[in-house]
Amino acid sequence: MELTVYEEIVRIAIVSPKSRLDAFAAPELRERLETLLAGTNRLVIDLSAVPFIDSAGMAVLVSAMKRARQAGGDVRLVWPTDDAARRILYLTKFDRVFVMADTVEAATKEF
């Protein structure tokens, strides 16, 4: 019997920042994401514990997403728990550009 066994391993990196994602903190996150994106093109950024995101933080999300998509992958976001932070993602239409999920499990499923 001739038989081909094939195994595919999908690596999904999951990042959960816990503090303010503002213009001061953004460069550190950018660096961490770039390191991860050197090893995988599928990334979940779990924003659930992030209390504040400004446009510099949002820019880091977009640039990671662009890089991941170029490499055939994607960046998915887990919604912030903070209601005001969620509203800003609606306002800027980020929720239409990113695949959004309510939990990390939901984000990784069928990635």
Partner 1 sequence: MSECDTLHLDMPASLRYLNVVSASIAAFLERCGTPVDHTTIYNTQLAVQEACTNIVRHAYAENAAGRISVCLTLLRMPPRLRVELSDTGRPFDPCAVELPDLDEVQIGGYGLFLIQSLMDEVSYDFQPGCNRLCMVKRLTSDE
Q: Which positions lie near partner 1, rule CB under 8 A?
A: 20, 22-24, 52, 54-56, 58-59, 62-63, 65-66, 82-85, 87-88, 91-94, 97
- Our CB check for partner 1 shows the closer of 35 and 92 to be 92
Tokens of 62: 């977009």
What residues have CB less than 8 Å from 82, skipping those under 6 apart?
50, 51, 52
Q: Which long-range contacts (CB under 8 A, 24 or more apart) does 18-21 make?
A: 18/49, 18/50, 19/50, 19/51, 20/50, 20/51, 20/52, 20/53, 21/47, 21/50, 21/52, 21/53, 21/54, 21/57, 21/60
- Our CB check for partner 1 shows the closer of 11 and 69 to be 69
User: Whole-number minimum distance, CB 101 to partner 1, in Å?
Assistant: 18
User: Whole-number minimum distance, CB 70 to partner 1, in Å?
Assistant: 13
- Our CB check for partner 1 shows the closer of 44 and 64 to be 64
User: Whole-number minimum distance, CB 96 to partner 1, in Å?
Assistant: 8
User: Whole-number minimum distance, CB 3 to partner 1, in Å?
Assistant: 45
